[in-house]
Each structure stands twice: as structure tokens, then as C-alpha cells.
Amino acid sequence: MPDAILPSDLGTVDPADAWKPWQPALGAWNRKWAAHLYRRAAFGATPAEIDAALSVGIPKTIDKLLAGELDAGDRLDLLTEAGKFYTDPASLRTWWLYAMLESGHPLREKITLFWHNHFATSYAKVRSTKLMYEQNVLIRTHALSLFPKFLLDMSKDTAMLVWLDSNRNVKGAPNENFAREVMELFSLGVGKYTEKDIQEAARALTGWHHDTEVTKFEFNRDLHDTGEKTIFGKTGKFGGPDVINLCCQQEACPKFIVGKLYSFFVSETAPPKGLLDPLAAQFRKSSYNIASIVKTMLSSRLFFSEHAYRKRVKWPVECALGAVRAAVPDRVPLSDVVEPLAKMGQALFAPPNVKGWRTGTDWLNSATLLARNNFAEKVALGEWNANIVRRNDSFRTFARPIASDEPRVEVGAPAPPDAKHDICTTIYATKPKSVGDVVKRLGELLYGDAIAPAQAKKLETYLLTPGPAPGATPAQPKGGLPGFHPKFDKFDPQPLEKGPKQPPPPKKEPPAKPLDPKDVKLDSNEFKARVREAAHAMMCLPEYQLN
Amino acid sequence: MSNRRDFLKGTLGASSLLAVGGVVPEFLASAARAAEQGEAKKDTVLVVIELTGGNDGLNTVVPYGDDEYAKARPTLAFAKKEVLKLDDYHGLHPRMQQMKQLYDQKKLAVIQGVGYPNPDRSHFESMDIWQLADPKRAGASGWLARSIPGMTIKDAGVPGMYLGDDRLPVAMQGADGGVISLADRASFRLQLTGNAGPRKALIQDLNTGDDAKADLAAFVRKRQLQTYTSLQKIEDALREAGSAPDNGGGEFINGRFVRNNPNDLTTLSGKLGLIGRMIQKNLGTRIYYVQLGGFDTHSGQSADHAKLLGDLSSAVGNFFTALHGEHAERVALMTYSEFGRRVKENGSRGTDHGSGSCMFLAGTQVVGGLVGKHPSMTDLTDGDIKYHTDFRRVYATILDNWLGVDSKGVLGDTFEKLPLIDRKKKAPAGGPGPGGGAGPGGGPPVFVPMPVEKP
């Protein structure tokens, strides 16, 4: 009996129902939901992965995501070994991006990214790629296993010990940094403990140090406070492991972790009261088995519902790798992704502070959104490899700010990119017969979904409209911005107090008209150039920014 | 059905409507502007000027009332009749007329004896200490960068901006996605290779939708259009610089003829002018950072230092003169340098690296006047004055009282604050009011041509 659609008011949904595995009606398990699953549980899907998911069904697809490819273990060994040799931050970041795409176990990498944000540690203070790498390996080992052991090992991780000043925590002069964060950020959430609990936990963690060479954990018995401590109302001669255990036993712990996983995998909209209770109970009962809770989430009716669909803002890593996976036919130089990611606000191994990145709508400000738009252009136009010098981007000095308004030398279609990085290769793989087919295919690849009819119409019109001939004066943008004028020196400056400027009268130029579809050659270079441009525009829309 | 103002503010949003000005009928665009103007108070803005090289604090805020000063500086000391007197002990460098006017208007705080323990006299090390706000130089993110995650940014602007073509200052490093550098124009430009105009129009056209629902998609659409508004505001501000009347003057520098243009963006005055225009366009940026270099005056200090402080003073003065009413009230400007200089002048009519110096904080909401005593001219350490005010107290005050960011979170410790900010302060009568018609002191704005440093 296939499931009915969940009511639109999540507050009225019985939590137990929400987390039952989804039994789709015939045909309901389609490309849209497969793409949704792969965007959340991985870094997007290739068209072939979607086909495979549709043919084997949901349970097998999720099992495969949880287990990885058959050779994922071998690949992991190789990757881990190789990672030791990436000894500067940029190449370590490239290494991890490579693991995300090539490890054969994208869900493990995805949740490793989640935990990297949860146990946010930054190279900015740790100052050692070796320690950051080791922490990354440790996170990956535990990412889908049991949380208490994970938390214990993280508390002994060298990078973490440096990050939270553990060596300054000594008998008689406790430093509360780690004790506070282990409760507030790593296990319980703010307000689920008293200041006294933190002070006592800090005492229990005294002597929990790294060695003088800063290579490994070392328990300094001499600097450990062996006295009695009272934490969460329990008294004993507690040490570090006791603090971890006591935190995990708190009722707040499974709720806190499940809540964070929910906002990462399901929705950034705060859940109604009680919705997560069954998950918290399951998490506790399973000895905090992370894989099992992730499986429940990803299989659920709620996950495959409008309550989850596009209810998250893509993290920059998801934004960058999603289009690459879905649309670029071959491997791209991932070192090209590192700098754009920083501009989008997510330099891996360098979260802004111990709270991690500010996610959700906080990802998007003018600078980060522009970085997303510009990265989208790189993907759409296939401009890979940092060495390519863009023809219209000659060096502009600070003293010549008006240069961007000068007529561009190059206005025609740029040369097509190398076929292996050309998204047209992927788009044309299904042999589109019409402009409509091309737009449909773009929607599948970039949104994992059909494009809204009104938008599809606009995209078709764009694709049918010839661009300016090479060498011609650039046309005034139809929806030009106020004040845009190519001839700056004739611009009439207005006093500031009059507020934003009005556009000067647009130059009279006959607007290009869309051609008749039968006059358009889908295979022509000119048309393909417009297809790439349309792909860029599509990646500047909420349908792409949301996950 | 909500009224039109609510519609404009709540659904599409005023600034996003402005973003598509070209296709919006004028009556709608002006209604949107009106709605935008009706918005609650705008965010405060901090402008930081780094005086690179180690500014000679003693010849900036001159202790002319102390005989030891003249004794220590036989060729460099200013006489009583030369300085711009603040009181019967302190005077500003003679070239700082405009900042003196700000001082007289109670808009300039002169913070004396600022430093940190065990002063480092290396440019690099000391600059790092100031910019990391950490005498131990641990960590690698700057104090301004660290303040960004805790900051509210209305209008989705870019939180921090560095104007200059050097690498990003340490103070601004580590705020990924939160800081742009405006020398690197490509970093804040929409890339549209090829068919640019129509594609931009397509993106804007596609970014319209059912925004009546206050859902995530509507939010993203609005942000997308706001981004283009921000780009446009910066373009406009830059273009206004390019279109300013050229005074036709010029000079030979290193054998090349260089035009003097008060809006040239290689000068401090040009940069501050651009910042002023961006502020008045409600760009939404909260921290602007600029540098003025050349303060490492080991020899022949007199002329160089006079020119630098003259540039600084007129640039700062003109900046505040050009800011109108409500915008002036939301701007504070801070100067600092990595260290001061040795009390005794050296044998080359210059001064060597020292410690402890002064800082300036200017703005209509700044509590004007001298803050703290001038450090003693006789109680010296290694020939340097002793600091008495930790620079992080100034930072903490600015963070908590001006930017509204928890200073403990940024500085890692609690610092006693200084009485530098008064958010309820009214502009004193006689000063430049809204419209900025009257210059400092009621006279016409002082125009000081800006020599160009280097092409």
C-alpha cells in the first residue's frame, strides 16, 4: 500500500509516521527524488547514478550509499596514504575534494564534512596540515559509527587539543575551554548544563594534554586533579573519559546530535516539537549508532516530502561539487575549486570559529552569492585550469575603476571549451531533438527536476535569440541596471543627496528577435554557446542554490 | 491586502526592486526608494586607516609644553607657535588643520599612550600584533575578520572591504566570504564572458517568481537581486570618482608626469571619497580598511611627515564634510600605526622605531577630546615612552559600543572600555548639518590638492 502524501502542516504529522520508510506509489520514485537523495546523501548524482537508483529502488540505493562502492575500502587506504603528502593548506583541501568525488563513498565524505563543522577546528590556530589531516582521517573513521567513542577520540585528537588550549588546563588552574565546548557545541547544546558542571568537568580534564612535540595525546598525571568532582549531580574522582560518558548519558545529548543531523540531512526549518523524539530514542537505544539514524532519516517519508525538498541552502562545497558531478563529463582540476570555495565562505579546514560555519541563509551575502555566480560561470563555460587567461580580463589597476564599463573587445561567443569539461557533452548525450528537449535536459542536470513552465519559456526564448555578432558593439542589457552607461566620461554626475540614479535613455538598437525553432541548428557552435550561458543563468537561481 | 509600502518592503524588498530599475516603472522605483528610506536605523560603519611604517606619535600629538620634548628633538621639534594647540601642553602637527577642526567640534578623540606589553620594534611583528590583536601572535585570523561572524549585516551587504592593491591586511584575513578587496576588481564583478548583456538580463528575468510566499526560494531570489544592487552601487561610486572634474594640475614624479586628481583612488583622499559614496548609497558594508604608507621616517622626517599628516588630515576632514546627516552619524573612523618612534631624534634628522603612540577616533558619535595622559617624556624604557593604555581596550570599546559585537568573543578576553562612544550624542550646533553645506568650523570646505604618490 503506497504512502499518502504527508499533510502540509508538519505540526499535525504523527512523528512515528514521518520516520517510517517511504513506500512510493508506482512511478513516484522518480528522477526528482533520486536527485534529491543524492544531493543530500552525496555531492549530487551523475545521470547514470540516477538511472541505477531508479532501477534498484530506494532501499538498495540507500544501502549502497551507506556502504559505498565495492572497492571503497581499497580506495580509502590509498587516499589516506596519499593524504600524508599534501602539506600545505591548499593542496590538503584539494585532496579532500578529491576524496569527496573519487572515494567511492560519497556519503561517508558528506558526513565527514558535517562532523568537520560540528567539531569545527581550524588550521588558522592549529597551524599544521599534518594535524588537520590526522583529524580529518579520525573523523572519517568514526563518521558513521558510534558517537560516544567518536567524541572520546576527538577529545584526544591533537589538533583539537591545540585548538582548545588543552595544555593550559592544569591542576589548580583549570582552563575551561574544552570543557565548555564539549558540552555546549559537541554534545549537549547551550543551556543544558550549569557553569558549575563546566568548572568541574574542566578539573576532570586537567592533564589531558598533547606531548611537547605536538604529535599526539599524552595524559599528564602530575598535572591532573585527582580530587572528587560533581558533574550533572554525580560525584566521583572523574577523569577525561568520565566527562565524555557523563555528557553522552545526558538526555540532551541524543536530541542535540539528532537535531543537528536533521538540519544537515533533512531540513533547516526548525522541526515542530516532538518530531525528532522517535529519532532521539532510536539513537539512544542503538548506542548512538550514527549510520542507523542517518539511514532512518534518508529512508523516511518525511525526507521524500515537500517538508524536506529544497529546504536547505546548499553549503558551498555542495554548490561547487553538485554541478561538477551532474554536468561536467570528466574530472576537473579540483585545485581550481579551492579558491572559489573560500570566496563562497567555506575554506575547508578553516571554519571561522569553534561554532563552525554559519549555515542556512547566513551562507548568502553579496560577496558569497557573487562567488557562487562566478563559479557557476566557470562550470557552465568550461573555463577550467587556473592558468587560462581570460581574454577580456586584462589587468585592471585600481586607478582605472571605470575600465569595466569600456566596450569589451570580445563580445561574440567564446571558443568552445575542451569537450571533456564541456557541459554540452553531457547535455547532448541524450540527443535532444528540439530546443525544448535541451531545456528539459538542463533542468534534469542542474536542478534534478523539471523547470517551471514560465522559466522554461524564458530559457527557450534566450536560446533562440542570436547573440551579438563578434566585433559588434555590446548591446545594452534589456533589463539594464540604473546608471549603466558605456561612456563614463560623458556621464552626468548627480549630487549624492538625490539618491540612486536613473538609467540614461537606452541606446536605440533593434532588439534581437528570437528565431524560428526550425531555423536553429542545435549542433551549431553558436547555439551551444548559448546553452552554456543558459546553464550559467540557471545556476544563479534559487532552484540551484537550494538543496 | 497589505498596503503598498508593506508590499514593497516585505515581499520583493526595496533594494531588489531598485536592482531592476531599468525595467521597473519610475513610480514603482521611487516608491521603493521611499520605503527604503523609511527603514529603521542603518548599521554603524567603521573605517580603519592603517598608518604604515610607524607613525611618530610625538610629532603628531606634540607635547610642546614639555621642555624635554624640544631637548630630545633639536631639529624636529615644533615650537609652541607652530603647533595647533589642543591645550597648554598638547598640540597637533601644524599640517593637521582639518583634524584640529574636528577636534574643536568635539568629533575627534585623541587616545594617548596606546601600546602593549613588551613592545616589538619590528614592523612586521608589531603590525601582526596590532592586526591579530594578540601580543602572542597566536592564530592567523585578524581581529576585524573575527568580528564579522558576530555582526549583523542589514541589506545583505559585504561585511568588510579593503581598498588597496596590496594583499589583504592581516586584520581582515580569515573571514572567508566576508571580506572583499576592491583593488582586485574581478573579485567583485559578475563574470559574463561572451553574450554579457542579454545573459545578465536573463538572470534577472529568471529571478522573478512568486515572492508573495515568504519561503526560502523568495529569500534567495531577493539576495540574488540585492547582490546586483551592491555591485551597481560600487560601480556607481567608482564611476562618480572617474567623472569628478580634473583640476588639470600635475607634477613630475620619478620622471613621469602624474595628474593630480582629488578622486584618484591611489590616494587616501580618493579612497575615503569612494568609501563615503558607498556609505551614502547604503552599501551595507560595515568595515572599510585603507592604508597610508610612508611613515617609516628614519631620515629627513620633517617634510615627509608633514606631507603624510597633511594628507591624512585633509582626507579625514573632507570625508566627514562630505557625509550627510544620518550617514555621518553612523560612521566612526579609527587610525593606528604599528608603533611610535624613539623620543630622541637620530643623526639623520629622522627618528627610529619606538613604542607606544597615539590613536585617533573620529565621528559625530565619538566623545571628542584627549583620552588619557600624555606619556611621560622622562620615564622612558630603552629611550621610548611607556604606554599606559592597551590597544585592545580601544578595540573592545569599538567592538562593543560601536559595531555591536561581543568583544570578549573577538579578543578572547575582557578589556576595560574607554569613554569613546556616545550613541546619543547630538551634532553640536554650527557643525556641518544635513546637506553638508557648511564646512568644518562653518567656513567653506578646505580643499587641499592631493599629490599622487606613485602611478
What is the average pLDDT across A252-272?
97
| C-alpha to C-alpha distance for B138 and A126, rounded to whole angstroms | 9
Check if the beta carbon of residue A466 is closer than 8 Å to that of residue B189: no
**Is residue A473 over pLDDT 60?**
no
Q: Which A residues 278-317 touch B at CB under 8 Å?
A: 310-311, 313, 316
A504 pLDDT band, cuts 50/70/90, is: low
Of A393, A458, A478, the CB nearest to B186: A393
Q: Which residues in chain B are contacts of A125 at CB distance < 8 A?
A: 138-140
Q: Interior CA angle at A520 toward A519 and A523, to 5°? A: 140
A508: DSSP letter: -
| C-alpha to C-alpha distance for B426 and B421, rounded to whole angstroms | 12
Handedness of CA B144, B177, A271, A182 (dihedral sign): negative
Query: Quick check: helix, strand or coil at residue A85?
Result: coil
B370-403 tens-digit pLDDT = 999 999 999 999 899 999 999 999 999 999 999 9
Q: How far is B61 from chain A (nearest CA, A)?
A: 32
Residue at a domain's end among A240, A266, A299 = A299
Of B185, B226, B239, the CB nearest to A396: B185
Q: Does residue A103 lie within any of the structural domains?
A: no
The verdict on A435 and A533 lying in the same domain is: yes
The verdict on A292 and A329 lying in the same domain is: no
In Å, what is the CA distance from A525 to each residue of A416, A464, A520? 7, 13, 11
Q: How far is B149 from chain A (nearest CA, A)?
A: 7
Q: How far is B348 from chain A (nearest CA, A)?
A: 35
**Is residue B187 over pLDDT 70?**
no
Looking at residue A507, its pLDDT comes to 53
Check if the beta carbon of residue A72 is closer than 8 Å to that of residue A96: no
What is the average pLDDT across B294-301?
94
What is the average pLDDT across B410-433?
78
**Mean pLDDT for all residues in chain A:** 88
Check if the beta carbon of residue A261 is closer than 8 Å to that of residue A113: no
CATH number of the B41-442 domain: 3.40.720
The verdict on A448 and A378 lying in the same domain is: yes
Q: Which residues in chain B are contacts of A388 at CB distance < 8 A?
A: none
Q: Does A412 touch chain B (CB under 8 A)?
A: yes
Residue at a domain's end among A271, A299, A327 = A299
As a residue count, chain A comes to: 547
| C-alpha to C-alpha distance for B330 and B308, rounded to whole angstroms | 27
**Is residue B451 over pLDDT 80?**
no
Check if the beta carbon of residue B340 is closer than 8 Å to that of residue B60: no
**Is residue A399 over pLDDT 80?**
no
CA closest to A538 among chain B residues? B203
ipTM: 0.85
Q: What is the 3-state secondary structure of chain B?
A: CCCHHHHHHHHHCHHHHHHCHHHCCHHHHHHHHHHHHCCCCCCCEEEEEEEECCCCHHHCEECCCCHHHHHHCCCCCCCCCCCEECCCCCEECCCCHHHHHHHHCCCEEEEEEEECCCCCCCHHHHHHHHHHCCCCCCCCCCHHHHHCCCCCCHHHCCCEEECCCCCCCHHHCCCCCCEEECCCHHHHCCCCCCCHHHHHHHHHHHCCCCCCCCCHHHHHHHHHHHHHHHHHHHHHHHHHHHCCCCCCCEEEECCEEEECCCCCCCCHHHHHHHHHHHHHCCCCCCEEEEEEECCCCCCCHHHHHHHHHHHHHHHHHHHHHHCCHHHHCCEEEEEEECCCECCCCCCCCCCCECCCEEEEEECCCECCEEECCCCCCCCCECCECCCCEEHHHHHHHHHHHHHCCCHHHHHCCCCCCCCCECCCCCCCCCCCCCCCCCCHHHCCCCCCCCCCCCC
Q: Which residues in chain B are contacts of A481 at CB distance < 8 A?
A: 19-22, 228, 232, 235
B414 pLDDT band, cuts 50/70/90, is: very high
| C-alpha to C-alpha distance for B319 and B321, rounded to whole angstroms | 5
Q: Does residue A359 lie within any of the structural domains?
A: yes
Q: How far is B362 from chain A (nearest CA, A)?
A: 22
Say which residues have a Cβ less than 8 Å from residue A499's Cβ, sequence separation at least 6.
B33
Looking at residue B367, its pLDDT comes to 96
Looking at residue B427, its pLDDT comes to 54
What is the average pLDDT across B185-208?
83
Q: Which A residues 120-139 touch B at CB under 8 Å?
A: 122-125, 127
A413: DSSP letter: P
Of A343, A346, A483, the CB nearest to B236: A483
Q: How far is A203 from chain B (nearest CA, A)?
A: 21
Q: Does residue A168 lie within any of the structural domains?
A: no
Domain with CATH 3.40.720 in chain B: 41-442
| C-alpha to C-alpha distance for B92 and A53, rounded to whole angstroms | 75
A335-352 tens-digit pLDDT = 999 999 999 999 999 998
In Å, what is the CA distance from A182 to each residue of A120, A197, A202, A238, B433? 11, 11, 10, 16, 53
What is the average pLDDT across A394-420?
50
| C-alpha to C-alpha distance for B353 and B384, rounded to whole angstroms | 9
The verdict on A263 and A353 lying in the same domain is: no
Q: Which residues in chain A are contacts of B189 at CB distance < 8 A?
A: 370, 404
The verdict on A322 and A281 lying in the same domain is: no
Check if the beta carbon of residue B318 is closer than 8 Å to that of residue B333: no
Residue at a domain's end among A242, A272, A299 = A299
Q: Does residue A172 lie within any of the structural domains?
A: no
The verdict on A420 and A295 lying in the same domain is: no
| C-alpha to C-alpha distance for A224 and A237, rounded to whole angstroms | 11
Q: Interior CA angle at A366 toward A362 and A368, to 5°? A: 65
| C-alpha to C-alpha distance for A87 and B175, rounded to whole angstroms | 22
Instruction: Give me B369's grid cell.
Output: 577630546
The verdict on A372 and A258 lying in the same domain is: no
Instruction: Give me A74's grid cell.
Output: 581499497
Looking at residue A543, its pLDDT comes to 94
B165 pLDDT band, cuts 50/70/90, is: confident
B214-255 tens-digit pLDDT = 789 998 998 888 888 888 888 888 777 654 444 444 445 445
* Residue predicted with more confidence, A106 or B284: A106
Q: Does residue A341 lie within any of the structural domains?
A: yes
B321-361 tens-digit pLDDT = 999 878 999 999 999 999 999 999 999 999 999 998 999 99
| C-alpha to C-alpha distance for A268 and B215, rounded to whole angstroms | 12
Looking at residue B225, its pLDDT comes to 86
Point out the least confidently predicted range of A537-541, B225-229, B411-415: B225-229
Look up the pTM and report it: 0.80
Check if the beta carbon of residue B20 is closer than 8 Å to that of residue B202: no
Percent of chain A with pLDDT over 70: 86
Of B203, B230, B243, the CB nearest to A488: B243
Please tell me the total count of domains within chain A: 2
Interface test with chain A among B155, B239, B271, by most A beta carbons within 10 Å: B239
What is the average pLDDT across A431-451?
96
Q: Which helix (H) or strand (E) holds A217?
A: strand A217-219
CA closest to B24 among chain A residues? A479
Check if the beta carbon of residue A45 is closer than 8 Å to that of residue A34: yes
Q: Interior CA angle at B142 toward B140 and B143, to 5°? A: 135
**Is residue B167 over pLDDT 70?**
yes
The verdict on A259 and A381 lying in the same domain is: no
The verdict on A332 and A281 lying in the same domain is: no
Q: How would you class A308 by CB atoms within 10 Å of its CB: exposed for 0-12, middle for 13-18, buried for 19 or more?
A: buried
Residue with cell 543537528: A260
B6-41 tens-digit pLDDT = 433 433 333 333 333 333 333 334 444 444 444 556
Q: Does residue A73 lie within any of the structural domains?
A: no
Residue B418: closest CA among B404, B401, B433, B431:
B401
> Domain residues for A535?
316-385+413-471+510-545
Point out the least confidently predicted range of A533-537, B222-226, B448-452: B448-452
The verdict on A417 and A536 lying in the same domain is: yes
Looking at residue B53, its pLDDT comes to 94
Query: Quick check: helix, strand or coil at residue A380?
Result: helix
Categorise residue A157: left if φ over 0, alpha if ψ from -120 to 50, beta otherwise.
beta
